[in-house]
Structure formats: C-alpha cells, structure tokens
Amino acid sequence: MTRYPPVEDLVPHAPPALALDELVDYHDGIARARLLVREGGLLVHDGGVDAVVAIEWMAQTVAACLGYEAFLGGVGVRVGMVVACRQFTIARPRLALGERLDVTARRVRGTDDISSFAGEVRDDRGRLVASALMTLVHSEKPPE
C-alpha cells in the first residue's frame, strides 16, 4: 500500500488517458511516479508505444505533483496544460509492452498560474528514455 492518494485522485484524467499507475515519492516540488506499458494504454499500438508519448507521462507526473500539493493544502485538483517544451530528448524511439518506467518531475520555478518543470523518464534499469523542460499553465478546478 502506498502512502500517497491514488493517482486518479491527483491527476484530472481517467483511463485510458491516465497513463500513470501510482505516485511513489514526493518531496518539495519533486514527484516520482511509475507506470507499466500495457495493452490498451495511452497510445499503445503494435506491441508498444512510441517514446514521444513520454512528454505526456512527464506532464501527468507534473499533474500528480501539483495534485498532491493541492491535496496537502486541502484544495481541489486543477487542470493544466503544457504550453512550451524545450530540450525534449528521446534516448530510444519505442518502448515495449511490459516495460516498467519511473517518471520524475522537478519544479524549476513557478507561481499559482504558470510553472516550469524538468521531467525525466527512465526504464527499470535506470536508463534514460526521455527528458524535457516543460512550461505549464494551471487553470481552475475541473467541473464535477
């Protein structure tokens, strides 16, 4: 059992759009999440997924970070979106079904309305899959 709320309570997505399985660590604006590449998952086709999808995994980890901060503050989860991405690096083009991935998002700077996060995806052997520096805007809580 994890010490964090279910990721479904932190990220304003539902399956199959929700790719993350769980938030596994949080500390001062740094969140780490895990996911398994599985059949029926976000943009999975032909036995795997193109690594460009890692930008979405990193964005969802940012959402989990902000969602957990909202949870700690007793306020609702807000919707956000990536408005810029710099230094997006893909170390390998494709990931296979069954691969377990760790995704990290680290706040570089931010306000209540806009933030920058450095993101990184690594495989279960610690090898870099992708990384990016993302700028995100945050809006109001999603409608019920």
Task: Find the CATH number of the domain harbouring 82.
Answer: 3.10.129.10
In a domain, residue 5? The reply is: no
1 pLDDT above the threshold of 80 = no
Stretch 62-79: mean pLDDT, rounded?
88
Structure token pair of residue 85? 């991405």
Is 7 within the bounds of a domain? Answer: no
How high is the pLDDT of residue 2?
62
Note the pLDDT of residue 52. Answer: 95
* Strand 114-123 versus strand 80-90 pairing type: unpaired
Residue 90 falls inside a structural domain: yes
How many domains in the chain? 1
The answer to whether position 19 is within a domain reads yes
Expressed as residue numbers, the domain containing 100 is 13-138
pLDDT band at 41 (very low <50, low <70, confident <90, very high): confident
Specify the length of the chain in residues.
144
**Once rounded to an integer, what is the mean pLDDT over residues 43-68?**
94
